A = this chain, B = another copy of it.
């Protein structure tokens, strides 16, 4: 809540208020400085990399071994909450405090990472800092990225003093764990406070254009029309039904739909809509795509409509590391044997997706009230936050004591 004061927004209906703290703004710097101060207060050392990612390090007995890493981000959406990202960073810090208080020395060092510009709300794309760390994005491209007012990421890193601190010496990462709020309704509906995240859904985005023949609402009998919206509606209905049968991790979302030159008394000749498909494995995603295309083309044929489909973006499915998942499972049993943790997938992307490309990775979820996130009413209770933190602590101990 102290970090949440930085960028705090009063919101009617929100239990603790929202937060407006875009990446590499003065407010983000204030939050990062407070975080660094707290970490240094308990003896951590700071390393900053070339894209402004922060690493707060607690020594291990064998300090030359690769560190176990936990982390998340401190930046928020424009109308964000106080938990998305921030919780993961602070839980890592709290785990280190516990280790200190109980004089527990781990074999490996532990590092808490604060990734730059996870939200993508100021600089595109999202998960920029972790993407550079994992080699998904070139450092040069990331530095040249500009916000809407034309300010580059590099200029902000210089202005805030991170460029001077940049240390290119990378000790690597043994295993990475990220604790996060779920941002969906699954754990809350089940009444389970702990989730073990088996992976992140792959995503494909498409633009679909449906072309029929527009005609006047009056003189055209129903059976002589080629109404692009009527066809599209059948597609949406059948795509949804098909996806629900496809599997519990399958997702199909039509978020945008436009009728060019729409008029109340004209049956639409053209409709454009967006299609967002998600699945847990590449095979399943391919199968979901095939079925979706079949559905669209079959209905188009039946309604005498023409179809154009263009893929606009994609991200492959990201299954997490089984060893890391097993460590989290053990940590749950150690810290909260009364809770049967629920295994689920993440539908949204996280820094962990990119880190998983360079280190064994897994995630822990706690519930989000009403499934809300990217929303000023985002909330998770202190009791639930504490449970997640307990599991992260035990996970880090288990991981950092393996050689």
**A268 to B253, alpha carbons, bound, how many Å?**
9
The answer to whether A244 and B217 touch (CB under 8 A), given A256-B264, A257-B259, is no
The answer to whether the Cβ of A223 comes within 8 Å of any Cβ in the partner chain is yes
Determine how many copies of this chain the complex contains: 2
In the complex, A137 has a CB within 8 A of chain B: no
A114 to chain B, nearest CB (A): 23
Q: Which residues of chain B come closer than 8 Å to A183, judged between CB atoms?
A: 216, 218-219
A347 at interface, CB cutoff 8 A: yes
Q: Are B254's CB and A229's CB within 8 A?
A: yes
Chain A 270-310 per-residue mask, 1 if CB under 8 angstroms from chain B, else 0: 00001010100000000000000000000000000000000
Residue among A217, A223, A248 with the most chain B CB within 10 A?
Answer: A217
Q: Would you give the shortest CB distance from A124 to chain B, in whole angstroms? A: 14
Whether B267 lies near A255 (C-beta < 8 A) is yes
Question: CB-CB contacts of A233-255 with B at 8 A, as 1s and 0s?
Answer: 11111001001100010111111
CA distance A222 to B244 in the complex (A): 6
Does A224 sit within 8 A of B, measured CB to CB? yes
**Judging by beta carbons under 8 Å apart, are A240 and B244 in contact?**
no
A266: chain B residues within 8 A (beta carbon): 253, 255
**A-B interface, 3 closest residue pairs, ranked by CB to CB distance from nearest:** A218-B347, A184-B219, A217-B253
A interface, CB within 8 angstroms of B: 182-186, 189, 201, 203, 205, 215-224, 227, 229-230, 232-237, 240, 243-244, 248, 250-257, 259, 262-268, 274, 276, 278, 346-349, 371, 373-374
